[in-house]
């Protein structure tokens, strides 16, 4: 017999736990089931610090059993397929769960196959990534002796889009402290056109790049790695009027084939791996053409199925995929579900695309980029009152926020459904 839940949540990450916790705080009588196969919940924003040797990896992990809200039934299985026409979810085990309301929050998945040679490079330990093993990143940085240190990111959407450059800044600062920065060429290569899309933040980061003598390479889209020769290949996507000729015997040892392929040798390579929506979402009736959950940008309600909501990285929202975004999305989803249960329409359309990126620029310094759908710089009023300064500038207080305050708020407020 098919089991049925009043509210079914897919995903035990930040989005799923926040929504389940807030719903239970609003109404303890709600019957909620949460689908999550993992035994451990990770606070992934701290992995940048783990990769720089300044945070204990073990402190980023908690047993999933301790995170699931009291009164929420934990279904320890994977969602395999979605049947929104029959209000049901098929699990990997073959069991079928029914629901009145569905919250889809499985995050995204890493797909190493999208860059040729990446999986082999990871297995060989030639490439490091905070997204996969931040402790290996720290080991790589700590043992680096000089040469080309390349930091890059894929053409796909990634969670925490600023993380690859944060790692570059921290590594450069570590190399400076070790006295090897003058023997190192730190390269940040990105498919993007600018270092950051907000003017106030971009000006600060440009100064940071200059301070470390970094080589900033826009329009560099990685597509292949040769782990044996230690070469990363990029498609050079700059328009003709912006293309720069790569000369022979250049300081980085770059080589260009034709007008669109650049080879860069590396002594160290940190890469954010390509990421994609989970297959069960991509292959369902709930996805848009790109495979992401097709929700309204302001209400988070699905565009075709009114009893379904999406939150977090899986949602097709034109903003950065961060925990800070989820913090603003969760109350909207919760209020709209409660409205539907009460027999009224889901009229909360207040999510404005808010997200934030804590850009660590050195040991003890950080910039906080906060923005909305229009890329307006939108500092949180509560945070601004507490910090009493311009968060678009580097400051040690922001470092303290990143290292100490945000983890505390995450575990003790966000995961428990309390307002932050």
Quick: pLDDT tens for 79-94: 999 999 999 999 999 9
| Domain 117-274 fold | FAD/NAD(P)-binding domain (3.50.50)
Q: Tell me the domain boundaries of the chain.
A: 3-108+277-350, 117-274
Residue 153 has pLDDT above 70, yes or no: yes
The whole-angstrom separation of Cα 216 and Cα 225 is 20
With 60 as the cut, is the pLDDT of residue 31 above it? yes
Structure tokens at 224: 């292949």
Average pLDDT, integer, range 115-144: 98
How far does Cα 200 stand from its chain's mean position?
Answer: 22
- pLDDT exceeds 60 at position 403: yes
Average pLDDT over residues 326-342: 98
Stated as kind and residue range, the H or E segment containing 382 is helix 381-387
Q: What is the pLDDT of residue 384?
A: 67
> DSSP labels for 383-402?
HHHHH-S-TTS-BHHHHHII
Confidence of residue 167 (pLDDT cuts 50, 70, 90): very high
Say if residue 32's pLDDT is above 90: yes
Confidence (pTM): 0.96
What band does 241 get if pLDDT is binned at 50, 70 and 90?
Answer: confident
Confidence of residue 34 (pLDDT cuts 50, 70, 90): very high
The answer to which of 345-349, 367-371, 416-420 has the lowest mean pLDDT is: 416-420
The answer on pLDDT for 306 being more than 60 is yes
Band (381; pLDDT cuts 50, 70, 90): confident
CATH number of 3-108+277-350: 3.50.50.60
> Of 110, 113, 115, 114, nearest to 225 (Cα)?
115
Tell me whether domains 3-108+277-350 and 117-274 share a fold: yes
**pLDDT attached to residue 337:** 98
Q: What share of the chain in percent tops pLDDT 70?
A: 98
The pLDDT score that the predictor gives to residue 380 is 77
pLDDT band at residue 240 under the 50/70/90 scheme: confident
Residues belonging to the active site = 160, 357
Q: Is it the case that residue 387 has pLDDT exceeding 70?
A: no
Asked if pLDDT for residue 388 goes beyond 60, the answer is: no
| Mean of the per-residue pLDDT values of the chain | 96
Strand partners, 235: 221, 261
Report how far Cα 204 is from the mean position of its chain's Cα atoms. 22
DSSP state of 240: G
pLDDT band at 127 (very low <50, low <70, confident <90, very high): very high
Q: Report the distance separating Cα 366 and Cα 370, nearest Å.
A: 13
């Amino acid at each position: 017999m098919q089991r049925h839940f009043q509210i079914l949540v897919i995903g035990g990450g930040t989005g799923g736990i926040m929504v389940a916790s807030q719903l239970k705080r609003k109404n303890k009588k709600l019957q909620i089931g949460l689908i999550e196969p993992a035994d451990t919940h990770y606070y992934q924003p701290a992995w940048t610090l783990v990769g720089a040797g300044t945070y204990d990896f073990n402190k980023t992990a908690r047993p999933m059993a301790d995170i699931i809200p009291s009164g929420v039934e934990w279904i320890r299985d994977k969602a395999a397929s979605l049947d929104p026409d029959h209000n049901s979810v098929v699990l990997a085990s073959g069991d079928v769960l029914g629901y009145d309301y569905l919250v889809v929050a499985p995050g995204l998945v890493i797909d190493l196959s999208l860059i040729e040679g990446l999986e082999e490079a990871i297995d060989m330990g030639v490439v490091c990534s905070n997204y996969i093993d931040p402790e290996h990143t720290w080991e790589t940085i700590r043992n680096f002796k000089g040469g080309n240190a390349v930091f890059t990111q894929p053409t796909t959407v990634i969670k925490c889009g600023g993380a690859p450059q944060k790692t570059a800044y921290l590594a450069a600062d570590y190399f400076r402290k070790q006295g090897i920065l003058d023997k190192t060429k730190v390269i940040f290569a990105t498919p993007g056109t600018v270092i950051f899309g907000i003017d106030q933040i971009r000006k600060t980061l440009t100064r940071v790049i200059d301070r470390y003598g970094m080589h900033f390479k826009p329009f560099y889209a990685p597509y292949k790695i040769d782990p044996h020769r230690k070469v990363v290949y990029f498609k050079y996507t700059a328009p003709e009027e912006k293309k720069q000729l790569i000369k022979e015997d250049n300081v980085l040892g770059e080589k260009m084939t034709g007008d669109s392929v650049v080879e860069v040798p590396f002594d160290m390579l940190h890469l954010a791996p390509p990421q994609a929506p989970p297959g069960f979402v991509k292959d369902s009736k709930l996805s848009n053409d790109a495979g992401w959950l097709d929700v309204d940008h302001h209400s988070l309600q699905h565009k075709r199925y009114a009893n379904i909501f999406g939150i977090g990285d899986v949602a097709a929202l034109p903003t950065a995929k961060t925990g800070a975004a989820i913090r603003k999305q969760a109350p909207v989803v919760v209020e709209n579900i409660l409205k539907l249960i009460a027999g009224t329409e889901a009229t909360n359309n207040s999510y404005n695309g808010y997200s934030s990126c804590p850009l660590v620029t050195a040991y003890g310094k950080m910039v906080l980029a906060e923005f909305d759908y229009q890329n307006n710089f939108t500092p949180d009023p509560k945070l601004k009152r507490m910090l009493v300064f311009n968060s678009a500038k580097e400051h040690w207080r922001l470092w303290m926020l990143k290292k100490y305050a945000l983890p505390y708020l995450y575990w003790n407020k966000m995961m428990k459904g309390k307002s932050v």
